[in-house]
Amino acid sequence: EACYELAAARAYLYTLFHKVLGGEPTTELLAAIGSEATAQAVGELAREDDTLASFAAFAGGVGDRAEDAAFVEEAQEEFARFFEGPAEPPAYPWEGPYLTRETMVFQPNTLAVRAAYADYGLQVRRLKHIPDDHVSIMAAFMADLSERAEAALRAGDFDQGHDLVAAMYRFSQEHMATWLPEYAAQSLHVTKAVLYPQVIHALRSLVQ
């Protein structure tokens, strides 16, 4: 049972991080961050991780302020600074710049990430408009593999479950652990951390 619950918790959190890092925050999304479902998923994975344990308390506070219009506006403004511009973001939200020190999108690593998605029949919805190595897209891929792993384990197909968990590990090591620590560190280069630095640090810890 524990392995099913861990897979389900990973699927839930990767899906949540995909949504938070991929679109402007709304009252509903902020409420989801602070929900009991989030608390339970974090609880499954935070027993030996101080950053995730801290995120659980932070997430509850976000939920408490989800109806606060001023807080929602602060979160939306921070989202724009991190992901939309027009100014340079505190940290680039895709893998390429951390490997090559060049800020352009669709670098050689992008094709490797795209191939990893294709191995599981997946493709970025807005192909060639959003870089495949964007942090939100990577989180969505990990969520998909987690859901498949949970389904395989519940069906008693432990070989497939093992293979999917191994695929998650490979992808996390080859394309997420390579840059998320630096991304998280750079995300703190802000006057005030409202939501996104905390989420990025939690994602980094989940990957680790």
**DSSP secondary structure letter of residue 115:** H
pLDDT of 142 higher than 80: yes
- C-alpha 40: how far from its chain's center? 17
Write down the pLDDT at residue 96: 94
Give the three-state DSSP class for 134. strand
Query: pLDDT grade, residue 35 (50/70/90)?
Result: very high
Query: pLDDT grade, residue 86 (50/70/90)?
Result: confident
Q: How many CB atoms lie within 10 A of CB 64?
A: 13
Per-residue CA distances from 10 to 63, 139, 165 (Å) = 20, 10, 11
- Exposure string of 83-120, with b = 16+ CB inside 10 Å and e = fewer, is beeeeebbbbbbbbbbeeeeeebebebbeebbebbeee
Provide the token pair at 153: 């384990």
Global confidence as pTM: 0.94
Distance (Å, whole) CA 104 – CA 131: 10
Mean predicted confidence (pLDDT) in 181-205:
97
Write down the pLDDT at residue 127: 64
pLDDT digits (tens, 9 = 90+) for 59-83: 999 999 999 999 999 999 999 999 9
Q: Which residue in 125, 166, 162, 122 sits closest to 144, CA to CA?
A: 122
